[in-house]
Structure 1
Amino acid sequence: MLLFVMSQQAMARTLIIEGLEEAPLKWMGHEEAKGIDIDIMTEVLNTMGISDYVFRFVDTGSRLLHNARNGTSDIVLTLSMNNKRAKYLMYPDEAHLLLDWRFAVRAEDKDAIRFEEFSDLSNVRIGAAADYSYTSAFWNSGLDIQTVARNDLLIPMLLQKRFDAVPVNYLNTIYDSLQNRYRDKVAFLYPPLRRAPYYNVFSRASDYPGKDAFLADYDKIIREMRDDGRLLEIFERYLGADGYDWWQSQYSQ
Structure 2
Amino acid sequence: MARQWEFVQTAGSFKSCMAAYFTLIVALCAVTFSTVSHARTLIIEGLSEAPLKWMVDGDPRGIDIDIMTEVLNDMGITDYRFQLVDNGRRLLHNAQTGSSDIVLTLSQNSERSQYLNYPEEAHLLLDWRFAVRAEDRDRITFNDFSDLARHRVGAAAEYSYTDTFWQSGLDIEVVAKNDLLIPMLLENRFDVVPVNYLSTLYETLRNGQREKIAFIYPPLRRAPYYNVFSKASDYPDKDAFLKRYDQIISTMRNDGRLASIFQDYLGPDGLDWWQSQYQN
- TM-score when normalising by structure 2: 0.88
**Change beyond 3 A, Cα 1:211–1:58:** same
- Say yes or no: does 1:166 pair with 2:193: yes
Query: Which of the numbers 201, 210, 214 marks the counterpart of 2:237?
Result: 210
Q: How does 1:214-233 map to 2 (within 5 A)?
A: 214-233=241-260
- Secondary structure in structure 2 of the residue aligned to 1:111: coil
Q: Which residue of 2 aligns with 1:190?
A: 217
- Greater RCO, 1 or 2 (C-alpha within 8 Å, sep 6+): 1
RMSD between aligned residues: 1.0
Q: CA deviation at 1:6?
A: 6.9
Q: CA deviation at 1:130?
A: 1.3
- Say yes or no: does 1:62 pair with 2:89: yes
Q: Which residue of 2 aligns with 1:235?
A: 262
Q: Which residue of 1 aligns with 2:35?
A: 10
What are the superposed Cα offsets for residues 50-86 of structure 1, whole Å, 9 maximum, x if unpaired? 0000000111101001100010000000000011010
Query: Structure 2 counterpart of 1:55, which letter?
Result: F
Q: Which residue of 1 aligns with 2:118?
A: 91
Query: Which of the numbers 178, 181, 184 marks the counterpart of 1:154?
Result: 181
- Secondary structure in structure 2 of the residue aligned to 1:9: helix
Q: Which residue of 2 aligns with 1:72?
A: 99
Does the 8 Å CA contact 1:21/1:57 hold for their aligned counterparts? yes
Q: CA deviation at 1:128?
A: 0.1
Query: Which of the numbers 91, 106, 124 marks the counterpart of 2:151?
Result: 124
- TM-score when normalising by structure 1: 0.97
Q: CA deviation at 1:30?
A: 1.7
What are the superposed Cα offsets for residues 107-146 of structure 1, whole Å, 9 maximum, x if unpaired? 0000000000000001010000011010000000000100
- Secondary structure in structure 1 of the residue aligned to 2:130: strand
**Higher helix content, 1 or 2:** 2
Larger radius of gyration: 2
- Say yes or no: does 1:47 pair with 2:74: yes
- Secondary structure in structure 1 of the residue aligned to 2:218: coil
Does the 8 Å CA contact 1:92/1:219 hold for their aligned counterparts? yes
Q: How many residues in Structure 1 have an aligned counterpart in Structure 2? A: 249
Does the 8 Å CA contact 1:236/1:243 hold for their aligned counterparts? yes
- Secondary structure in structure 2 of the residue aligned to 1:189: strand
Sequence identity (%): 69
Q: Which residue of 2 aligns with 1:103?
A: 130
- Secondary structure in structure 1 of the residue aligned to 2:49: coil
> Where in structure 1 are there 5+ consecutive unaligned residues?
none
Query: Which of the numbers 40, 45, 49 marks the counterpart of 1:22?
Result: 49
Comparing 6-15 with 44-53, which one deviates more in the overlay?
6-15
Q: Which residue of 2 aligns with 1:114?
A: 141
Query: Structure 2 counterpart of 1:187, which letter?
Result: A
What are the superposed Cα offsets for residues 198-232 of structure 1, whole Å, 9 maximum, x if unpaired? 00000000000000010000000000000000000
